[in-house]
Amino acid sequence: MPAIVIIGAQWGDEGKGKATDLLGSRIDYVVKFNGGNNAGHTVVIGDEKYALHLLPSGILTEGVTPIISNGVVIDPEVLFEELDALIARGVDVSKLLVSANAHIITNYHRTLDKVTERFLGKRQIGTTGRGIGPAYADKINRVGIRVQDLFDENILRQKVEGALDQKNHLLVKVYNRRAIEVEEIVTELLSYADRLRPMVADTGLLLNKALDDGEIVLFEGGQATMLDVDHGTYPFVTSSNSTSGGAATGSGVAPNRLERIIGIVKAYTTRVGAGPFPTELHDESGEFLRSNGFEFGTTTGRPRRCGWYDAPIARYTARVNGVTDFVLTKLDVLTGLKTIPVCVAYDVDGVRFDEMPVSQSDFHHSVPIYEEFPGWDEDITGARTFEDLPKNAQDYVLAIEAMSGARMSAIGVGPGRDEIIVRHDLVD
Ligand code: GDP
Ligand code: IMO
Ligand code: MG
């Protein structure tokens, strides 16, 4: 079996953590390949609830080797905090490996994230404030600090000096903040070196060897297709490639080895932060989805914006990522609705668009064209086969499957580990 990739099909929080956990016992490696601690994955195992940000969700499964690969931006303080919290709960984290080429989030990235957002005022993105954008900007600008730099004090000092040179002018002269001392940053980063050193490995080489040996590697995407810096609703996006291509560039495993691409899609839509969202609801239906689905951010606690299922977005996601299977999550949240609208196309100033418009202005003006499906009242959380679902729930799934460009291979009916219907095996 080649490598498997899990990606978010909408604007994040689709239930990727739970999907990773579902495959957990059958995989050998789980790789986080993009983003950083802007992600928030909730995994519920029995009575225990885990919230993971920087660490891949697969770390919760015994025997799996978790990897943070080169495409990730790492805040070392958060890394150790998250590890310590898991250790305190009895989770074995000793297998974690980190790429020497992953970039580091420092204090000045967090500061810049917050002040630039404040300066944007009404035009702000609504970032998580974790320093993600500024750290990726430094990477692309070739002034980033990488994990390997923490083990060479001279190089580290030169790089921090280089990075702070311009930034201090910006902080002091434009943003009215105090300058950041080079030594303050160097001392802090060096203090992480000893604990980090044993975790550092050539993760690209290791993953390719594992695949050569027939082991199963799962790539766990953070964020989602519509937040991808190239393919999402730019500029209201994150700063990494959260689509399946990011699994290749972000890990050093070639694209032709990524054969199973699993898109995680909610039975409705949510979004955190600013940006266009055609099916967003501002009425009691939106409130129904938010309260029934507990739609509050895992990372920032912000209430998520809620709306109906958007089929053109699912089709776009299927195309951009090469989705082979969808996992449809949170179908149970729709229980109790009389009718369930699904967006099948958009009206843009009187013109019908069957596919997502390429122009952001058109997407901003898109008014959903809905088709309505009858709802159901039966509790579906106990359903374990497709046939256990009420007829109207089955029909809803079949209808959105036909519109979405790939088969719906599993269906989430509750947050728990076993609250899932598997229609097609996701590993074989
Ligand atoms: P991620 O960022 O994609 O990993 O998703 P989050 O963890 O941020 O948000 C998904 C939320 O939905 C979590 O609280 C999960 O426990 C929960 N969840 C996942 N699948 C289901 C499902 O099928 N039904 C319900 N009711 N909750 C689910
Ligand atoms: P998971 O992995 C939902 C959003 C932020 C903001 C934009 C940019 O849990 O699905 P950033 O801090 O990345 O520069 O913020 O992206 N965002 C997410 N929204 N789920 C996430 O991750 C997100 N990660 C970033 O709200 O709009
Ligand atoms: Mg999340």
Dist CA 366 CA 361 (whole Å): 9
281-335 confidence digits (pLDDT tens): 999 999 999 999 999 988 888 899 999 999 999 999 999 999 999 999 999 999 9
**Residue 292 CA neighbour count, 13 Å, CB half:** 22
DSSP letters of 382-400?
A: T--SGGGS-HHHHHHHHHH
Residue 291 is classified by DSSP as H
73-98 confidence digits (pLDDT tens): 999 999 999 999 999 999 999 999 99
Among 272, 274, 271, 303, smallest CA distance to 287 is for 303
Residues 351 and 224 both lie in one domain: yes
For the chain, how many structural domains are there in total?
2
Among 414, 308, 304, 415, smallest CA distance to 369 is for 308
Residues 287 and 407 both lie in one domain: yes
Q: Is 322 helix (H, G, I), strand (E, B) or coil?
A: coil
Dist CA 50 CA 40 (whole Å): 10
Dist CA 179 CA 322 (whole Å): 46
Contact (CB, 8 A) for 245 and 254: no
Q: Note the pLDDT of residue 336.
A: 98
Residues 226 and 364 both lie in one domain: yes
**CATH assignment at residue 38:** 3.90.170.10
Q: What is the dihedral of CA 276, 282, 287, 290, to 10 degrees?
A: 0
Q: Residue-wise over 38-63: b if at least 16 C-beta within 10 A, else e?
A: bbbbbbbeeeeebebbbbbbbbbbee
Q: Is 167 inside a domain boundary?
A: yes
Expressed in angstroms and rounded, the spacing between residue 273 Cα and the centre of ligand 2 is 7
Residues 165 and 211 both lie in one domain: no
Expressed in angstroms and rounded, the spacing between residue 240 Cα and the centre of ligand 3 is 16
Q: Which ligand is nearest to the CA of 224?
A: 2
Which among 174, 198, 222 is the end of a domain? 198
Non-local (6+) Cβ contacts of 293 within 8 A are: 266, 268, 270, 306, 330, 333
Residues 225 and 360 both lie in one domain: yes
Expressed in angstroms and rounded, the spacing between residue 56 Cα and the centre of ligand 3 is 12
Per-residue pLDDT of the chain (428 residues; tens, 9 = 90+): 689 999 999 999 999 999 998 898 899 999 999 999 999 999 988 889 999 999 999 899 999 999 999 999 999 999 999 999 999 999 999 999 999 999 999 999 999 999 999 999 999 999 999 999 999 999 999 999 999 999 999 999 999 999 999 999 999 999 999 999 999 999 999 999 999 999 999 999 999 999 999 999 999 999 999 999 999 999 999 999 999 999 999 999 999 999 999 999 999 999 999 999 999 999 999 999 999 999 998 888 889 999 999 999 999 999 999 999 999 999 999 999 999 999 999 999 999 999 999 999 999 999 999 999 999 999 999 999 999 999 999 999 999 999 999 999 999 999 998 999 999 999 98
- Decide whether any atom of ligand 1 lies within 6 Å of the 16 Cβ: yes
Q: Is 122 helix (H, G, I), strand (E, B) or coil?
A: helix
Q: Note the pLDDT of residue 97.
A: 98
Contact (CB, 8 A) for 133 and 239: yes
Q: Note the pLDDT of residue 301.
A: 85
Q: Which ligand is nearest to the CA of 117?
A: 2
Q: What value does the CA radius of gyration of the chain take, rounded to a whole number of Å?
A: 22
Q: Is 360 helix (H, G, I), strand (E, B) or coil?
A: helix
**Domain that includes residue 148, residue range:** 103-198
Which among 198, 227, 251 is the end of a domain? 198
Q: Is 48 helix (H, G, I), strand (E, B) or coil?
A: strand
Q: Tokens standing for 72?
A: 């990730």
Residues 143 and 276 both lie in one domain: no
Q: Is 245 inside a domain boundary?
A: yes
Q: Is 116 inside a domain boundary?
A: yes
Please say if 41 is a catalytic residue.
yes
Q: Is 38 inside a domain boundary?
A: yes
Which among 198, 227, 246 is the end of a domain? 198
Q: Is 178 inside a domain boundary?
A: yes
Dist CA 197 CA 335 (whole Å): 50
Q: Tokens standing for 9?
A: 């099909």
Among 297, 317, 295, 321, smallest CA distance to 307 is for 295
Query: Could you tell me how far CA 265 lies from the centroid of its own chain?
Result: 12
Residues 326 and 213 both lie in one domain: yes
Among 243, 261, 375, smallest CA distance to 308 is for 375
Residues 79 and 157 both lie in one domain: no
Residues 381 and 309 both lie in one domain: yes
Contact (CB, 8 A) for 404 and 311: yes
* DSSP-derived pairing of the beta strands 97-99 and 200-201: parallel
Q: Is 95 inside a domain boundary?
A: no
Q: Is 96 inside a domain boundary?
A: no
**Residue 408 region, left (φ>0) first, then alpha (ψ -120 to 50), else beta?**
beta
94's enclosing H/E stretch is none
Dist CA 254 CA 245 (whole Å): 9
Expressed in angstroms and rounded, the spacing between residue 301 Cα and the centre of ligand 2 is 12
Q: What is the pTM of this model?
A: 0.97
Residues 18 and 140 both lie in one domain: no
Residues 263 and 211 both lie in one domain: yes
**CATH assignment at residue 124:** 1.10.300.10
* DSSP-derived pairing of the beta strands 258-266 and 325-329: parallel
- Per the listing, tokens 């009858």 go with 374
Q: Note the pLDDT of residue 1.
A: 65
Q: Which ligand is nearest to the CA of 264?
A: 1
DSSP letters of 194-263?
A: HHHGGGEE-HHHHHHHHHHTT--EEEE--S-GGG-TTTSSTTSS-SS--STHHHHHTTT--GGGEEEEEE
222-224-227 Cα angle (round to 5): 110
Q: Is 414 inside a domain boundary?
A: yes
Residues 173 and 210 both lie in one domain: no
- Decide whether any atom of ligand 2 lies within 6 Å of the 130 Cβ: yes
Atom of ligand 2 nearest to the CA of 272: 26
